Structure 1
Amino acid sequence: MRKICVVTATRAEYGLLKCLLEDIQNDSELELQIISTGTHLSPEFGLTHQQILNDGFDVNKKIEILLSSDTPIGVSKSMGLAQISFAEAFDELQPDIIVVLGDRYELIPIVSTANIARIPVAHLSGGELTEGAIDELIRHAITKLSQLHFTAMDEYTQRVIQMGELPERVFTVGEVGLDNLLRMQLMTREEFEAAIEHPLKNKNILFTYHPETTQNIDEVKSDFTKILQGLEQLDETLIIFTKANADVGGRLINKMIDEYVNTHSENAISFTSLGQLRYLSALQYVDAVVGNSSSGIVEAPSFKVATVNIGNRQKGRVRAESIIDIDVNAEQLVSSINTINTPEFKATLKKIVNPYGQGNSSRQVIDILKHTDLNCLKKKPFYDISRKK
């Protein structure tokens, strides 16, 4: 059987991969290998490795790489640790192909190690733009270190080809995370309130904000202070915080969230991780997704719920009309929340079509993984567009 090794390092990435993992596991011609790493293994970030086990998956390897520091030095040392540890893991597991998703910094040493071991890499969600984060550089670097590509839309496919990837190795399949919407039995309002141990209000927002990794720590603190000042002006609104990731500045943001919730306990609650079921269930009942998470761009439009996207982290991504982009500014934040509650904007939401697809992407990925000649992937010619014209 063909051994497919899927690497997951964060709660958000795992949520997007879950249906693909199920389909690989249930395919009699494939053997699923899972490596759990990064924030999955950190109690500080919710120990979300346990969620993988609770969902019925066996984890072949747990690889600790996260140091108790989110400084540039700490992040770089984590990347070095990943390079060493994954070399040993790949040698032990002997996978036929590695599957990774997205643009996290820890993927760079992982896919580099796979290349040195001559194991092909399949990359999901390449070709996208996030100009306000260092992820922008990392995503394109992962593309160049991968041999097989699965993108969310034709625009992203063309961008991957533009980087010299062979067109016959780039496949437009939609966003695999949207498969969850077709398969999950989401919570009722009462079940969701019980799960978060707090009643919803007449107005509710789901808030996730990650550091803009092009900034220094002082800029991160200044920006998040302005955002909290805006949130403080919202009347009769429950703010459901999900905490930041392990990027540089993430721990600072989480500390500021804790301090805010402690002084606004009637109107604010926080979670290190909601998990995929509670998170997607929340999208049914909130008035808006606020912050700078990609979920506000990719998943929220499928629920016809508004997104207030703050700052530049997601700059460049294709957007539905349900998304309002604002600067890091308290007044703009309050104004945008008022806008989404107007009858005119709510009428617009009813007509929203998600440009990232409607699901059913995982099976397309599976079929390609099963039938691709993996030996051919070990040689990677550069596709020169200028010479093809």
Structure 2
Amino acid sequence: MKLLFLNGSRGEWGYIRPIIDLCIARRIDYGVCATNMVLLSNHGALIDEIKAQGYRVCDDIFMSLEGHSHVTMVKSLGIFLTSFVETINREKPDWLILAGDRGEQLMGAVAAAYTYTPVAHIQAGERSGNIDGVARHAIGKFAHLHFAANQDAADRLARLGEEPFRIHNVGAPQLDELVSGDIAGPADLTSRYDLDVTAPYLLAVLHPVTEEMDLAATQVAAMTSAVGHFNMPKVWILPNNDAGSHAVRQALFLHRKSDTLIFDNLSRRDYLGFLRHATAIVGNSSSGLLEAPTFKIPAVNLGRRQADRVQGSNVINAPFEVDAISAAIKKAISREFNDVLTACENPYGDGCSAQRILDILSAMPIDDRLLVKRLTY
């Protein structure tokens, strides 16, 4: 069995790395096609870390056009589609593994489906509050196997007409390394970043919402103003390169204060360490919903980007208004709320997903029943 993983962002690397590590342990052939932000120095050049750790990168496809607008996003995706089909043709994988809901994953699904390359989709069937949610379900129509992270997503896939044998509730594989403990410890983080992570601090991650691109600067200003009300350090992770990201970056540096650390990117191990020891995570990153519940870390979730997703008891929702964000953070860091979190369970799985995924892929026959899709409605 030969697997091809598509990786365009740091979030997707968290999805697929536990599966790749298990591929290596089981001597399963694999390759990683790196693209988009993974290759960009102003987004942390994750590709350098991936290669330094010895993972096999079979191709890298530069696709991102400057401009950070709706037009450049679409043109960038077109560039990727025409290039990625050559990767598929050369590598000839038994399975293309896609993760999440970004546009390059959708282009990967199109290229694979039309070359009759089996597609397995991680984190299938979920809802979210912007065009990414639409992309996720479009990927679902091209995918041949769906790896759902919870029963809500699995049930939705069935209602969307997917055949039962294609749907598997396996949990979210990015939780595997949280449970295994592959995260940076306090001493390591403190010495490397000159921040005492045993003292209170906020982790802040804000991505632009493509439908609200014109509001990006206003939204980040509201968030920086609100977190500024709290006398503790802030660790900011800069956003992805979707439409509006330039405005978020500009506004963040404009409103930056002396107690703020800003990173283009962090290694997965270090990011999870900062999340594990944070007083709370604030913004609209999916990690507040997906990873934070495992650590029982409060998450202040802003705006519509994660709307409609399954949430644990650690999540507090707020609009992009200074007073509302401040009130939500105040609640998140309160003793009363944290006492409640002792019983918090992660609705996205138990941290044993990679093994389930590889077992299913290994056992699934690749035949006309798999490749020629039927809808049940």
TM more than 0.5: yes
CA contact (8 A) 1:301 1:353 kept: yes
CA contact (8 A) 1:102 1:126 kept: yes
1:55 aligns to 2:53 (yes or no): yes
Structure 1 segment 259-274 matched on structure 2, within 5 A: 259-261=254-256, 264-265=257-258, 267-274=259-266
Quote the residue 1:4 is aligned against: 3
Q: Deviations over 1:152-183 (max 9, x none)?
A: 01110010111111111100001110001133
CA contact (8 A) 2:298 2:333 kept: no
Quote the residue 2:243 is aligned against: 248
Q: For the residues of structure 2 that align with 1:108 and 1:174, how far apart are their CA atoms?
A: 21
**Which of 62, 65, 68 is equivalent to 1:64?**
62
Q: Deviations over 1:309-365 (max 9, x none)?
A: 011111111111111001111111111221123221121011111111120100000
**Which of 96, 99, 107 is equivalent to 1:98?**
96
Q: Deviations over 1:26-57 (max 9, x none)?
A: 223x3112111111111111111112112220
CA contact (8 A) 1:201 1:238 kept: no
Quote the residue 1:387 is aligned against: none
**Which of 224, 230, 236 is equivalent to 1:228?**
224
1:134 aligns to 2:131 (yes or no): yes
1:293 aligns to 2:285 (yes or no): yes
Q: How many residues were matched structurally? A: 376
1:190 aligns to 2:182 (yes or no): no
Quote the residue 1:203 is aligned against: 200
SS at match of 1:110: helix
Structure 1 segment 107-122 matched on structure 2, within 5 A: 107-122=105-120
Deviates more, 1:9-18 or 1:194-203: 194-203
Quote the residue 1:238 is aligned against: 233
CA contact (8 A) 1:184 1:277 kept: no
CA contact (8 A) 1:187 1:278 kept: yes
1:163 aligns to 2:160 (yes or no): yes
Residue type at the aligned position of 1:232: G
Q: For the residues of structure 2 that align with 1:342 and 1:88, how far apart are their CA atoms?
A: 53
Task: Report the TM-score when normalising by structure 1.
Answer: 0.94
Residue type at the aligned position of 2:351: G
Post-superposition offset of 1:200: 4.2
Task: Report the TM-score when normalising by structure 2.
Answer: 0.97
Q: Deviations over 1:96-152 (max 9, x none)?
A: 110000000112222111111110110010111112x21011111000110100000
CA contact (8 A) 2:84 2:108 kept: yes
Quote the residue 1:358 is aligned against: 350
Structure 1 segment 137-152 matched on structure 2, within 5 A: 137-152=134-149
**Which of 366, 374, 377 is equivalent to 1:381?**
374
Post-superposition offset of 1:201: 7.5
CA contact (8 A) 1:195 1:278 kept: no
SS at match of 1:20: helix
CA contact (8 A) 1:101 1:124 kept: yes
Post-superposition offset of 1:187: 2.6
1:281 aligns to 2:288 (yes or no): no
Post-superposition offset of 1:6: 0.7
CA contact (8 A) 2:99 2:121 kept: yes
Residue type at the aligned position of 1:8: N
Q: For the residues of structure 2 that align with 1:256 and 1:44, how far apart are their CA atoms?
A: 16
Q: For the residues of structure 2 that align with 1:373 and 1:380, how far apart are their CA atoms?
A: 14
Quote the residue 1:76 is aligned against: 74
